[in-house]
Each structure stands twice: as C-alpha cells, then as structure tokens.
Amino acid sequence: MILGITWLVAFQLLGELVVRLAGLPVPGPVAGMLLLFVVLRLRRYDDEGSIVRAGTALLRHLQLFFVPAGVGVVTMLAVIGRDALPIAVSLLGSWLLALAVVGWGAVGLERLLGRPSDDLPAAPAPGAR
C-alpha cells in the first residue's frame, strides 16, 4: 500500500515539475495521470502490482476528497441566492448540452469511422441503472 502511494505521489510531483517547466495550463496531478498511464503501458504493468492496489483503494473513495472544497458552498450561499436563477439554469442547461454533444459526438464519429460498439442492450430492462 505505502509503496503504491509512494509511486502515486512521485508521479504527482513529476507532473507538477513537467507542468511548471513547460508552462502548461493543467494541474500537476492531471499531467501525472497521463505520465503514469504511459509508464504503466510501456512496462506492461500487471494487475497485482502495488500501484494498481493503492490506486484502486484511493479511487474507491474519490468522492471523499472533494468534500473539504465542497463545504465552501456555505460561504457562497448569499452570492448564489442573489443570482439563483441564472446560476441554476446555466449550470443545468450547459451541463446537459455538453453531455449530449460529447456522448452523441463520440458515438456518431465511431459510426462514421465504422467501429461502433454498443455495450448496453437497446432497451434497458426495467429497473436497470
């Protein structure tokens, strides 16, 4: 576990270094994710390795790590209340529009390139998620 976490932190640090040296506008951890992906591919890293075990354990609780930033909403309630309508409709509308564009766009391009793959049945059974 600690060995895996050591690797994850090391790649986060490497990501920070690359982002700062290259002046990229992404956070260090995102660059670290892409770097780690390349290394795992090149090394043909196996499923029982320490990085996989530590990574899987952390990802199971990914939601927890957003809580401290999310609680910041209490300081913003007055501001949000003043502009509640534009904020709510803009967040919801833009979310839905972009979700449809990315989803349909990717599926449409797949069909165009002749490699469609429907994983889910056409009509989900009642009660399916």
Partner 1 sequence: MTDTVLDLGRSPLSMLAITLVGYQLGRWLQRRSRGHALAQPVLVAIVVAGLAITVLDVDYPDYRDATELIAFWLGPATVALAVPLHRQADRLKGFVVPLLAAILVGAAVSIVSAVLIARALGADDLLERTIAPKAATTPVAIAVADAAGGVPSLAAVFAIAVGILGAVAGPAVLNLLRIRDRRARGLAVGAVSHGIGASRMLREDETEGAFAGLSMGLSALAISLLVPLLALWLL
Told to check if 125 binds partner 1 by CB under 8 A, we report: no
Told to check if 3 binds partner 1 by CB under 8 A, we report: no
Rounded distance between C-alpha atoms, residue 58 and residue 56, angstroms: 6
The encoded tokens of residue 118 equal: 């429907």
Told to check if 33 binds partner 1 by CB under 8 A, we report: yes
Rounded distance between C-alpha atoms, residue 49 and residue 78, angstroms: 48
Of residues 1, 3, 9, 20, which one binds partner 1 by CB under 8 A? 9
Rounded distance between C-alpha atoms, residue 39 and residue 35, angstroms: 6
Told to check if 91 binds partner 1 by CB under 8 A, we report: yes
Grouping H, G, I as helix, E, B as strand and the rest as coil, residue 127 is coil
Of residues 2, 78, 119, 126, which one binds partner 1 by CB under 8 A? 119
Told to check if 129 binds partner 1 by CB under 8 A, we report: yes
